[in-house]
Amino acid sequence: MVMSTIENRYQQYLRDHKFKSSKRRDIIFQQVMKSADHFTIDDLYQELLKNEPDIGIATIYRNIRLFVEIGIIIEHSFGEKKGFYELIKSQLPDHGHLICQNCGKIIEFEYKSLDQYKQLLFKKYKFKITSHKLEIFGFCPKCQE
């Protein structure tokens, strides 16, 4: 999904749901758009504080929930209590996450489509799969040393 599509979706949602213009929401949105990797609320908060020292963490939480609702970011738990977020633009067609149980490093990897397996599951269980997540836990090379 290209940036303009994400921005269009964001603007359209705000118009359709009659949200008032908000400088802080737009600043948070722009920072999320710059995210090249997975991030936590705290990561985002620390980054925003550099230029917006008065921004509140509650404002960030509210807007992140909104961005998830809009469908421009995805929330992952990776087996932890805190959420990790990923901008839709970084979504690979079928990708999973390798999560280091020691340092928390997250590595994305592509894998072959599960289309055939999804069809078999539907045929056997009449279960229509709309999405899936693949998270594999272990230890990264550095933590194995």
Q: Which residue has the tokens 């932890």?
A: 80
- Where is mean pLDDT largest: 5-9, 14-18, 106-110? 14-18
pLDDT at residue 118 tops 80 = yes
- What local confidence, expressed as pLDDT, does residue 89 receive? 59
CB 98, CB 106: distance < 8 Å: yes
Domains, in order of start, for the chain? 3-89 (1.10.10.10), 92-144 (3.30.1490.190)
- Please give the mean pLDDT across all residues of the chain: 86
More confident residue, 81 or 90: 81
Q: Residue 38 — very low, low, confident or very high, per pLDDT cuts 50/70/90?
A: confident
Least confident of 3-7, 99-103, 122-126: 3-7
Q: At what angle do helices 3-16 and 57-70 cross, to 10 degrees?
A: 100
**Distance separating the N- and C-terminal Cα atoms of the chain:** 38
CA gap 70, 72 in Å, rounded: 6
Pairing of strands 73-76, 95-100: unpaired
Rounded to 5°, angle at Cα 114 from 92 and 140: 55
What's the chain's length in residues?
145
**pTM beyond cutoff 0.85:** no
Q: Give per-residue pLDDT as tens, 40-80.
A: 999 999 999 999 999 999 999 999 999 999 988 888 877 77
For residue 1, pLDDT beyond 70: no
User: Which is more confidently placed, 31 or 110?
Assistant: 31
